[in-house]
Chains A and B, each alone.
Chain A
């Protein structure tokens, strides 16, 4: 069989760059295969994908050497339009790529551009909507859909063209864990029913492996460093050194001293042959001490019977009560639309609750204005680009003090102190534009920290970041907590973050507080994970298959020891 995608000694250099982004790529993908391409940011994985759909070099200029054939043609000469008939690309931004005003129009978009007659178009749209299970929502507007539904529409929008290759560019980045799981299942179902080849670019390896893939391509520095079957690649243990997080159960097995081989089928925790290692893992569990963490005595934030609804009939939040202690790192989790952002907005005072109260260190803060609350409760948005408004780092960080009329000496002194804490002091006189994304994130955090808030709320602090940047941001936040005792609430979809970095989890579902407990308890509870669209941690499955009871203790112990090792390493 001839490959459907074939790179031969392929090198690609962007016009704007001195060095090539891809070097000597040799890769053959055969019809009907499901390929996962992993690699950290800057490894060239997106560039590779954009060479397949001809965005490189047609939309972003560049030059290549060697050959690339997709379904027998050279993408560069067919152009983006020509390739759109062969390769359907699903982007990670589900909102941005929803172009039509309704589901049906969005699915029809490619057909409209191809000037397909209306009757034919309507029947094709119906058929495609059925394939992606969206036929009941044809006249819905994007605002009425969940993230997962929008992604189905995007998938429908490219499948309507009868493409031969489906290319997914980080399909899980914006989805809650359970929706991500279902997306992976849907891809699997479509491959069963249709004659397509699937290429997935994603660094969330464990989530993609929820359904089997044929091969994993590991990229680093513009080169392919591994092209192997999942079992072989996972057994080789080279993923972490290339910036890819191993599945958690695998990390735990290695931690316990098990030497995993490809014969154990490590690519799926459910199908893995654990028999050789169960004893080792049990042994480790029995001989590891439990570490008990003490939480701070003082309650910093108390929320009492909070209710809120945009209109009378439909409450967005009802009867939310919880308290947070000083120095805690809290994760606020739940599916998209469960009310997480609304709860954060109520705490910050952006919205007024219908009833109930928010107490900061024992006193009701409802009379305070947004600005006054902002001095005590800092809010950091998801992307630093949503916050940064000054060209110079020093000015940006000092802005909050400046508008509060603080004297210049004090501003300078506090800005410098904050920049030191955030590791930005060497850059204090730099323009913001010269910084990397992670550094900009720190600037946006510093600009809140400078006001010495009691609590900081972070919206998706690590969204869209690869493992290295994730670790950088999270270790920074942890250090900040350890040094300043700042309390943090993080809105997140990332179960790893929740498990590894937070001590306290608040689980929201349809406007109710479903659970208020430790992350390990939440993520080992089947009922809660299901209702809140979370994903049970694979550590649980590992513990049960090794016969360890209760599995929660195993999770606790492993996480605690991983934390200790990581802080030793940093």
Chain B
């Protein structure tokens, strides 16, 4: 089965960490990345992100498809920023150095380029963190980690349930699709688009009905074994926190304070090279 991002068992420092500490790291890392526009901080984060990507032993094929999708949206985003707010950079940095006049009211300025460069780096600080969290955390542990950071277990367990049953539903989808194709309801590119959309209904409805039946069984099975009985629950696959985990959590908290101090010590969250 091909999943977009899949966990692979490996023996690295990062794989050995508890899912909880990785999740805490991931959340704090993203908060810092969202708050700061200080280029120095962002560059440090970028380099560190690259380092942990390598340290986690992640293979390019594990993440390539999702990476390409993110790149696409990032490019669209950067172009949109320019067209909707071509002088955002000038507003932020308070100066204007024109490079090229394009047309009408649109000019490329140093400030705008620098601002968009910062946005680009922000993307690249978060992307490895997402990848590494997902490819190094055992799915079994995922729900326990999410519950560990304060999300109610009924919500975090639905993540585990989704991971458990998605392959089953994919199988069912394939079976139904094959049988309907044999009846002549073609899904392949041969059929015109409008027809194809109409015909997808002939898969969706049977899939929906059989999934509904499945949900009924699963929810009864869960209830019969006491799911939801207590306010809290324990987790078989939760990893105990070890020294390395404490170190990582403490480290990321210290980093967050330092990074935000550097960012805000000059009064705003931007690093301004133009003054």
Spell out A's residues near B (CB within 8 Å).
Answer: 53, 55, 59, 80-81, 84-85, 89, 91, 93, 95-102, 104-105, 108-118, 121-122, 125, 142-143, 157-158, 161, 345, 348-350, 370-371, 373-375, 377-379, 381, 383, 385-390, 399-400, 403-404, 447-448, 451
Decide: A113 and B184 in contact? CB cutoff 8 A. no
Q: With A99-B221, A389-B206 given, can you name 17 additional A-B contacts, CB distance below 8 Å?
A: A55-B224, A91-B217, A101-B139, A110-B225, A115-B233, A115-B234, A117-B234, A121-B236, A157-B225, A371-B186, A385-B209, A385-B210, A399-B185, A400-B183, A400-B184, A403-B183, A451-B183
- Per-residue CB contact flags for chain B residues 80-100 toward chain A (1 = under 8 Å, else 0) read 000000000000000000000
Q: Say yes or no: A386-B182 contact (C-beta < 8 A), given A97-B218, A115-B233.
A: no
Chain B nearest CB, measured from A429 CB (Å): 20
Q: Chain A: which residue is nearest B181 at the CB level?
A: A370
Decide: B236 and A95 in contact? CB cutoff 8 A. no
Decide: B164 and A99 in contact? CB cutoff 8 A. yes
| Neighbouring A residues of B224 by C-beta, 8 Å | 53, 55, 80, 84, 89, 91, 158
Contact of B167 among A143, A371, A378 (CB under 8 A): A143
Spell out B's residues near A (CB within 8 Å).
Answer: 139-140, 160-161, 163-164, 167-168, 172, 175-176, 178-186, 199, 201-203, 205-206, 209-210, 213-214, 217-218, 220-230, 232-238, 240
Decide: A109 and B182 in contact? CB cutoff 8 A. no
Decide: A385 and B236 in contact? CB cutoff 8 A. no
- A-B contacts, 7 listed (Cβ < 8 Å): A96-B221, A99-B221, A111-B234, A113-B229, A379-B179, A386-B179, A386-B210
Decide: B163 and A101 in contact? CB cutoff 8 A. yes
Q: Which of A91, A111, A389 has the most CB of B within 10 A?
A: A389
Q: Ordered nearest first, which 10 A-B pairs have the shortest CB separation? A: A374-B182, A96-B217, A97-B221, A108-B236, A389-B202, A113-B226, A350-B178, A110-B225, A81-B229, A370-B181
Q: In whole angstroms, what is the CA distance A118 to B206 when docked?
A: 41
Decide: B209 and A399 in contact? CB cutoff 8 A. no
Q: Say yes or no: A375-B179 contact (C-beta < 8 A), given A108-B236, A383-B210.
A: no
Decide: A115 and B205 in contact? CB cutoff 8 A. no
Decide: A91 and B201 in contact? CB cutoff 8 A. no
Q: In whole angstroms, what is the CA distance A403 to B222 when docked?
A: 42
Q: Chain A: which residue is nearest B230 at the CB level?
A: A115
Q: Say yes or no: A375-B238 contact (C-beta < 8 A), given A101-B140, A109-B225, A370-B178.
A: no
Q: Chain B: which residue is nearest A54 at the CB level?
A: B224
Decide: B221 and A373 in contact? CB cutoff 8 A. no
Decide: B218 and A96 in contact? CB cutoff 8 A. yes
| Neighbouring B residues of A161 by C-beta, 8 Å | 225-226
| Neighbouring A residues of B140 by C-beta, 8 Å | 100-102, 105
| Neighbouring B residues of A118 by C-beta, 8 Å | 234-236, 238, 240
Decide: A121 and B205 in contact? CB cutoff 8 A. no
Decide: A109 and B227 in contact? CB cutoff 8 A. yes
| Neighbouring A residues of B176 by C-beta, 8 Å | 381, 386-387
Decide: B226 and A110 in contact? CB cutoff 8 A. yes
Decide: A112 and B233 in contact? CB cutoff 8 A. yes
Decide: B236 and A113 in contact? CB cutoff 8 A. no
Decide: B218 and A84 in contact? CB cutoff 8 A. no
| Neighbouring B residues of A104 by C-beta, 8 Å | 236-237
| Neighbouring B residues of A80 by C-beta, 8 Å | 223-224
Decide: B226 and A399 in contact? CB cutoff 8 A. no
Contact of B220 among A55, A116, A350, A386 (CB under 8 A): A55
| Neighbouring B residues of A399 by C-beta, 8 Å | 183, 185, 202
Q: Say yes or no: A375-B184 contact (C-beta < 8 A), given A96-B217, A113-B229, A386-B179.
A: yes
Chain B nearest CB, measured from A512 CB (Å): 24
Chain A nearest CB, measured from B255 CB (Å): 30
Decide: A386 and B164 in contact? CB cutoff 8 A. no
Decide: B234 and A95 in contact? CB cutoff 8 A. no
Q: Say yes or no: A91-B221 contact (C-beta < 8 A), given A110-B226, A114-B229, A385-B206.
A: yes
Q: Say yes or no: A122-B236 contact (C-beta < 8 A), given A101-B164, A381-B175, A386-B176.
A: yes
Q: Chain B: which residue is nearest A120 at the CB level?
A: B234
Decide: B182 and A378 in contact? CB cutoff 8 A. yes
Decide: B217 and A99 in contact? CB cutoff 8 A. no
Contact of A113 among B178, B199, B213, B227 (CB under 8 A): B227
| Neighbouring A residues of B232 by C-beta, 8 Å | 115
Q: Say yes or no: A93-B183 contact (C-beta < 8 A), given A80-B224, A115-B230, A387-B206.
A: no
| Neighbouring B residues of A157 by C-beta, 8 Å | 225
Chain B nearest CB, measured from A385 CB (Å): 5
Chain A nearest CB, measured from B61 CB (Å): 16
| Neighbouring A residues of B185 by C-beta, 8 Å | 399, 403
Decide: B184 and A386 in contact? CB cutoff 8 A. no
Q: In whole angstroms, what is the CA distance A161 to B224 when docked?
A: 11
Q: In whole angstroms, what is the CA distance A425 to B132 when docked?
A: 60
Q: Say yes or no: A371-B226 contact (C-beta < 8 A), given A97-B217, A105-B237, A385-B213.
A: no
Decide: A374 and B183 in contact? CB cutoff 8 A. yes
Q: In whole angstroms, what is the CA distance A527 to B37 when docked?
A: 75
Q: In whole angstroms, what is the CA distance A349 to B167 when docked?
A: 23
Decide: A112 and B236 in contact? CB cutoff 8 A. yes
Contact of B225 among A84, A101, A350, A386 (CB under 8 A): A84
Q: In whole angstroms, what is the CA distance A448 to B182 when docked?
A: 9
Decide: B236 and A125 in contact? CB cutoff 8 A. yes
Q: Chain A: which residue is nearest B229 at the CB level?
A: A81
Decide: B184 and A371 in contact? CB cutoff 8 A. yes
Q: Chain A: which residue is nearest B202 at the CB level?
A: A389
Q: Chain B: which residue is nearest A101 at the CB level?
A: B140
Chain A nearest CB, measured from B24 CB (Å): 20
Q: Say yes or no: A112-B234 contact (C-beta < 8 A), given A105-B140, A381-B176.
A: yes
Q: Chain A: which residue is nearest B199 at the CB level?
A: A403
Chain B nearest CB, measured from A543 CB (Å): 40
| Neighbouring A residues of B175 by C-beta, 8 Å | 381, 386
Q: In whole angstroms, what is the CA distance A400 to B185 when docked?
A: 7
Decide: B225 and A389 in contact? CB cutoff 8 A. no
Decide: A100 and B164 in contact? CB cutoff 8 A. yes
| Neighbouring A residues of B206 by C-beta, 8 Å | 385-389
Q: In whole angstroms, what is the CA distance A95 to B232 when docked?
A: 26
Decide: B161 and A113 in contact? CB cutoff 8 A. no
